[in-house]
Structure 1
Amino acid sequence: MIQSPAPRRTAVIRIALTGANGGYGRTLLDQLQRLPDMTAAQLVDPDVDGVVRMLTALGVSEDGFVHAASVAEAAAAVDAGKIAVIGDGAHIAWTHADVLVEATGRIEAGHAYAEAALDSGTHVVMVSKEIESVAGVALSARARERGLRYLPGDGDQPANLLRLVEWVLGVGFDIVALGKSGEYDLVFDPETGIVNQNGVAVSAPALADLLSLGDDLPATLAARAAAVADLKRAAAADSCEMNVVSLYTGAVADIEAMHYPVARPDELADIYAERADGGILASTGVIDVFSMLRLPGEASFAGGVFAIVRTGDDVTWDILRGKGHVVSRNGRYACIYWPYHFMGVETPLTVAAAVDGTAATPEPRQHTVLAARTTADLAADTVFRVEGHHHEISGVAPVIVAPDAGEVAPYYLLSGARLRRDVAAGSLVTLADLEGVPTGALAAYRAGLALGH
């Protein structure tokens, strides 16, 4: 068996994990058990009992953790080599945390944790894309001012895509488009005519004749979209992740809701070509999401990431096409992709980079805003709530738009806010439309905007 190398450092990296009792937290905690030079020192979540059940399920003995109800108790637990399980973030012992991994997904709490960590000299690995989309620019600047690192966490698509971008640009390619697959594949069974998306099945027999792009790419994509129209394919999480990628790369959305073509991976270089070359793009340097179409038994894209690049020498790319690489039919574009995102399994890479100062992540700027466009007429006093697995808000759709003078309201600043006046369907919600916006996150957003592009 080939095993992980010996510990890379003499001092163990102490991690504070907020939003610990979730799928991301569990995958990270499981992976940390394999890494002797990192430890989950403090686990923060209001559901303390849930965290305890998770630790027990992961094989941590009862004497391996302590319920800490104060900063002193948390520090004492870490000093004793135990895990401090903390229900109130005010009880985090920042002196005993080298890196915060923020995974609450909740704008007020997560932003406050990140600010507190940086003000206490603790590096931040940001998993909560919701917070990143609103306050990431300001938090990154705050970290640099203090000589600290603020990094998007490997394992989620934004950081993975940024690593792919680094590779693609490093070898000299020009990028036409960047993106990821949606979280859930469309699995089509030609024998039954049924397409299944994460347990939701619909009849779509027309897909049987649409498994190749044919000569009319736009018509094929339109017909595929019509065949699966009863399925909800777009998610706020997708838009949020692509907005985060925009902050670090300057890429923009070709259309504000993104294209979401129903596509197979070997088609991506044809689909994400410029319109003049038969593709769907009106511009280049864009971010987008596609719905993965596959047959039963075929490998998934697994929410992975891709970059579309311009090719060069025809002979070179004929050789690469012959080796199975995805090259467009006209030979002008290629797709480079990583078909995975392993959540917390990968995050230790970012934790190590934060401590060692080895990350090559560029400084983010508010190149685009994840905004909210109303899907119906909304009356004054409407209260917005972030709900569900994908952290969506009823009554508005997430869209990626250019920043204005700071008037458009970021999608996740709507969390808990109330409309002060009626807003018509199809309108972008503005900050002037709202009252009760989270003040700390709003200040961070405005600070990020002030840094310019």
Structure 2
Amino acid sequence: MKTNSDARVGDAPIGVALSGAGGGFGRSFLAQLSRISGMKPSVLVDLNLDSLAVMLDKLGYSRSSWAVCRDTRDVEAAVAAGRTALIADGALLAPHAYDVLVEATGNVSVGFALALRALDDDRHVVMVSKEVESVAGVHLAGVARSRGLRYLPGKGDQPANLLALVSWITAVGLDIVAVGKSAEYDLVFDPTTGTASMLDAHETVPELAGLLDLGPDVAVTVAARAEAARSFKRSAAADYCEMAVVAQYTGFVTDRDDMHYPVARPSELADIYRLRADGGLLERPGVVDVFTMLRLPGEASFAGGEFVIVRTGDAETWQLLKAKGHVVSSDGAYACIYSPYHLMGVETPLSVYEAHSGTSDVPAPDQHVVLAGRATTALEAGTRLRVEGHHHEIDGVAPFLSAREDLPADTAPFYLLGGATLVRNVPAGQTITVDDLHGFDDRLWQAFHHPHSLPSTSKESQR
């Protein structure tokens, strides 16, 4: 049943084109879209239309409500008849068939091309593919502004949710010290067995029983927890990617290029993310970071949610708030404000509405940071680099996030590496540059390297 909370502009529902429609995000978005009377899925793009059709069946979309289309004329006819057009080729996206593109392929080259095409066709873009955003988001946002269009990160993923939290906290007038999110998976410790778990990985780590309290020395406890959890994989390129997006829109940078990644409980965040001079981990204010949530069985998860650390100001006010259960540091000087959720496509219709109505307050991004790759072992010329798996891993390469001015101008963004081949040996510990690569998407590189060079259109030829 549709709700009465319409996202209407005038009498017509907002027509949404969704690329990567058959993925996990696509499912959650389409499930929610079926409940909103002011929006409709006009065009769905996915390579596997058979699988997409099965998903639509399971979501309750009737077979009569959609049609597989083989050319642009079919797309326009289907949408004009009130049906959803299913296409396997983004080149068939007819501009008059939709109002807003939600890009969710997760493929950096494909997503960039689709977003640029939509902007060329005077259509707004909601970017869910954070991989695209980390490389070309600044450029795409500039193209959108130059044409009077909106380009927004999609709510439901951590970057947009964190930006909304930052916007609210800034408007309130609080002084922000750090922002971030929890890693995707929790470290769950069972004191009765001494076993720690992360997804399907289980290890006996009885020493964690003595580390459940942060104690007076934050750095010592955090280091001890990291050592106890050393067998678990707690960082992922996807985390760095999300923080790169946040950095683009806020100007915050990392405190260290591999981030702190403390194993922490939410009640401790205001103590951990204090400045080092005040007993915390941070060398400076204005940083992005990620933590691994430590919890006991049955305790609620942070669910990959977002946090902001602020200076409190008036001690009496925050002592009152602390008594009400808010997270305030032991010295009363810092507080943590957080949202323990990110609901993927369930929240994304809000971004679609904001893009269409022009009501978003997301600032213009800039390339404040670079998400880059560093060789973890000696890599030989001829090695083909592949971004693989849910965590976006590249064998032999570790992601890191650094201020742009701290890196050479030819540093290759991490997601440019996927599919490229090394043309020379790269020693362990060396940052990979574009001069090390062959077979990368040159248009992506130009968009990253010269993000403010406008205009650029999808109709220009690749070099």
On whether the aligned pair clears a TM of 0.5, the verdict is: yes
Amino acid at match of 2:446: A
Alignment partners' CA distance in 2, 1:324 and 1:181: 20
Amino acid at match of 1:312: G
Alignment partners' CA distance in 1, 2:93 and 2:439: 27
Displacement, 1:85?
1.1
Confirm or deny: 8 A CA contact 1:372 1:409 kept in the other structure.
Answer: yes
Residue of structure 1 in register with 2:434 after alignment: 431
Structure 1 residues 118-174: Cα deviation after superposition (integer angstroms, max 9, x where no partner): 000110000000000000000000000111000000000000000000011101111
Residue of structure 1 in register with 2:5 after alignment: 5
**Using a 3 Å threshold, how does the CA distance of structure 1 residues 274 and 374 change in structure 2: closer, same or farther?**
same
Q: TM-score under structure 2 normalisation?
A: 0.95
Alignment partners' CA distance in 1, 2:199 and 2:207: 20
1:419 aligns with 2:422: yes
**Using a 3 Å threshold, how does the CA distance of structure 1 residues 3 and 416 change in structure 2: closer, same or farther?**
closer
Alignment partners' CA distance in 2, 1:111 and 1:415: 14
Confirm or deny: 8 A CA contact 2:2 2:34 kept in the other structure.
Answer: no
Structure 1 residues 354-381: Cα deviation after superposition (integer angstroms, max 9, x where no partner): 0000000111000000000111000001
Displacement, 1:242?
0.1
Amino acid at match of 1:440: R
Structure 1 residues 83-127: Cα deviation after superposition (integer angstroms, max 9, x where no partner): 111111111212211000000111110000000000001100000
Residue of structure 1 in register with 2:245 after alignment: 244
SS of the counterpart of 1:168? helix
Structure 1 residues 286-309: Cα deviation after superposition (integer angstroms, max 9, x where no partner): 000000011111111010000000
Structure 1 residues 49-97: Cα deviation after superposition (integer angstroms, max 9, x where no partner): 1111110110112212111111111111111111111111111212211
Confirm or deny: 8 A CA contact 1:181 1:303 kept in the other structure.
Answer: yes
Confirm or deny: 8 A CA contact 1:406 1:449 kept in the other structure.
Answer: no
Structure 1 residues 156-210: Cα deviation after superposition (integer angstroms, max 9, x where no partner): 0000000000011101111100000000111111111111112221111111111
1:274 aligns with 2:272: no
SS of the counterpart of 1:36? coil
SS of the counterpart of 1:423? coil
Q: Aligned residue pairs: how many?
A: 451
Amino acid at match of 2:429: G
Residue of structure 1 in register with 2:264 after alignment: 263
Alignment partners' CA distance in 1, 2:266 and 2:155: 22
Residue of structure 1 in register with 2:460 after alignment: none
Displacement, 1:349?
0.3
Amino acid at match of 2:420: A
Confirm or deny: 8 A CA contact 1:70 1:92 kept in the other structure.
Answer: no
SS of the counterpart of 1:268? helix
Pick which of 390-399 and 237-246 moved more.
Answer: 390-399
Alignment partners' CA distance in 2, 1:72 and 1:202: 58
Amino acid at match of 1:429: I
1:45-444, aligned counterparts within 5 Å?
45-403=46-404, 404=407, 406-444=409-447
RMSD (Å), alpha carbons: 1.4
Q: Share of identical aligned residues, percent? A: 56
SS of the counterpart of 2:18? strand
SS of the counterpart of 1:393? coil
**Using a 3 Å threshold, how does the CA distance of structure 1 residues 280 and 7 change in structure 2: closer, same or farther?**
closer
**Using a 3 Å threshold, how does the CA distance of structure 1 residues 6 and 105 change in structure 2: closer, same or farther?**
closer
Alignment partners' CA distance in 2, 1:2 and 1:277: 51
Structure 1 residues 369-412: Cα deviation after superposition (integer angstroms, max 9, x where no partner): 00001110000011111111122211111100122453100000
Structure 1 residues 337-361: Cα deviation after superposition (integer angstroms, max 9, x where no partner): 0000000000000000000000001
SS of the counterpart of 2:42? strand
Confirm or deny: 8 A CA contact 2:8 2:14 kept in the other structure.
Answer: no
**Using a 3 Å threshold, how does the CA distance of structure 1 residues 106 and 450 change in structure 2: closer, same or farther?**
same
**Using a 3 Å threshold, how does the CA distance of structure 1 residues 261 and 388 change in structure 2: closer, same or farther?**
same
SS of the counterpart of 1:392? coil
**Using a 3 Å threshold, how does the CA distance of structure 1 residues 88 and 2 change in structure 2: closer, same or farther?**
closer
Alignment partners' CA distance in 2, 1:16 and 1:198: 34
Amino acid at match of 1:442: W
Pick which of 7-16 and 306-315 moved more.
Answer: 7-16
Confirm or deny: 8 A CA contact 2:254 2:403 kept in the other structure.
Answer: no
Confirm or deny: 8 A CA contact 2:3 2:36 kept in the other structure.
Answer: no
Alignment partners' CA distance in 2, 1:225 and 1:80: 58
Amino acid at match of 1:415: G
Structure 1 unmatched runs, 5+:
none
SS of the counterpart of 2:450? helix
Alignment partners' CA distance in 1, 2:96 and 2:333: 54
Displacement, 1:283?
1.1
Confirm or deny: 8 A CA contact 2:5 2:36 kept in the other structure.
Answer: no
Confirm or deny: 8 A CA contact 2:2 2:35 kept in the other structure.
Answer: no
Structure 2 unmatched runs, 5+:
455-463
Q: TM-score under structure 1 normalisation?
A: 0.97
Alignment partners' CA distance in 1, 2:101 and 2:245: 19
Alignment partners' CA distance in 1, 2:42 and 2:3: 24
Residue of structure 1 in register with 2:458 after alignment: none
SS of the counterpart of 1:386? coil
Alignment partners' CA distance in 2, 1:299 and 1:202: 21
SS of the counterpart of 2:416? helix
**Using a 3 Å threshold, how does the CA distance of structure 1 residues 331 and 233 change in structure 2: closer, same or farther?**
same
